[in-house]
Structure 1
Amino acid sequence: MKKFTVAALALTTLLSGSAHAHEAGEFFMRAGPATVRPTEGAGGTLGHLNGFDVSNNTQLGLTFTYMATDNIGVELLAATPFRHKVGTGTTGDIATVHLLPPTLMAQWYFGDSSSKVRPYVGVGVNYTTFFDNDFNDNGKNAGLSDLSFKDSWGAAGQVGVDYLINRDWLIGASVWYMDIDTTANYKMGGVQHHDSVRLDPWVFMFSAGYRF
């Protein structure tokens, strides 16, 4: 019985305390590695070349969160530019694509402002812009040129958890799913093509955060 009481007290101490970093009016920033893992697909010519593939990529992720109440937060996800290799089973890697996917989320934090562990969920909107896209030598030798992608708007969902080390510092993990549908514009043998492309990535981020 004594061991059970000690364990219960330890658990209570873990889940609650006097950290108060997630309370109304607070602003905090998180930073850490963010990995984009596309669940890709394509139509048109790209979709018929024995498998369309977009590589994973990891960059520095940043989130900026404002707590409107003790349980409701507004978060902006930002990152350094992601760089993905694009290819097919028939051609191998044919291009490199750069993108930025800023995402604005409305969040619900479980627990209360004294909880040291704060799981949360979020829904929001993603905007993805593409730039510095180009075919490599492999793509150019196949007669491909003039690559561009249409910017994308889509929905996003999120789950995550923060652990408050003290009033100012926290560590956390978060996962987003983003609806990213675009159009790949390019020329093949001088003929213009417009292929639908689905990225729809999972984004994984582990972070350390600081309250301002």
Structure 2
Amino acid sequence: MKKSALAIGLATALLSSVAMAHQAGDVLIRAGGIFVNANSHSKTTTATEIGLEVNNNAQVGLTGTYMFTDNIGLELLAATPFSHRVTANVPALHDSNVPGSGNLGNVVSLKHLPPSLYAQYYFLDKDAGSRPYVGVGINYTRFFDAESTNPAITNLRVKKHSVGPVANLGIDIKLTDDLSLNAAMWYTHIRTKANFTALGAEHEVKIKLDPVIYFAGLTYRF
């Protein structure tokens, strides 16, 4: 009898634990590592072509989600400021007999914050051990602390604001009643513009970033 009572008690506790999942009214906080694959492209709008490439960066990521229903949530993405190096290449200076000619190396450093707000749809039932989800919304990127790191680049100005769509894909895998393992990714469009003086002339280069952003961390449910 005691063994049966114990078994029933354990089963009840287990079922109660399974039922405590993402549901209406929950607040989900996610924290972990976040990596930006910048995937940048540039186009020079002045006479001399100067190619700019934005390097990748990793930081600490943080998201907060409010569940309006068992399947629909609204999430805000934040992170510590991303810091990027920008390299430059000048095709007109390229000499096939001189390795590395035309490559100016790192010429600019800058930071940005990419807060994003998006609605999410969570698949499966709220008691499921894992909850895959998708999301769509808007990204706002703010560039700041742009500095020249090469004496050949002077009078640097970078457009500070960019707004574009963002898509999100992720999954929570339950570890305990309130803690889950999370993996997620985002895709967005970011646009900016750099004006600067180099090679004795003024230049304007438009930069497009189509970053894929990867996240791995933990979700805590309040």
Shorter-chain TM-score bucket reads 0.7 to 0.9
Give the aligned partner of residue 212 of structure 2: 202
Match of 1:3 in 2: none
Q: Counterpart amino acid of 1:33?
A: G
The 5 Å alignment of 1:59-208 reads 59-89=59-89, 90-136=103-149, 138=150, 140=151, 142-188=152-198, 192-208=202-218
Residue of structure 1 in register with 2:49 after alignment: 48
Aligned residues: 192
Distance 2:24 2:196 in 1: 49
Question: Match for residue 4 of structure 2?
Answer: none
Alignment deviations for residues 118-170 of structure 1 (CA, whole Å, 9 cap, x no partner): 0011101000000001010x2x2x14333323310000111111011122111
Aligned pairs for 1:7-18 within 5 A: 18=18
How far did residue 191 of structure 1 move?
5.1
Q: 1:210 & 1:143 partners in 2: Cα distance?
A: 46
Q: 1:143 to 1:196 in 2, by over 3 A?
A: closer
Contact 1:150 1:184 in 2 (8 A): no
Q: Determine which structure has more spread, i.e. the larger CA radius of gyration.
A: 2
Quick check: 1:42–1:196 contact (8 Å CA) kept in 2? Answer: yes
Displacement of 1:207: 1.1
**Are the counterparts in 1 of residues 45 and 206 from structure 2 also a CA contact under 8 Å?**
no
User: Are the counterparts in 2 of residues 171 and 208 from structure 1 also a CA contact under 8 Å?
Assistant: yes
Change (3 A) 1:111 1:143: closer
TM-score, scaled to structure 1 = 0.84
TM-score when normalising by structure 2:
0.81
C-alpha RMSD of matched pairs (Å): 1.9
- Is the CA contact (8 Å cut-off) linking 1:135 and 1:147 kept in structure 2? no
Q: Give the structure 2 partner of residue 14 of structure 1.
A: none
Name the SS of the counterpart of 1:91 in structure 2: strand
Identity among equivalent positions (%) equals 43
Q: Partners in 1 of 2:21 and 2:181 — Cα distance?
A: 12
Which amino acid in 1 is paired with 2:104?
Answer: T
2:32 — aligned with what?
32
Task: Kindly provide the amino acid, as one letter, of the partner of residue 49 in structure 2.
Answer: H
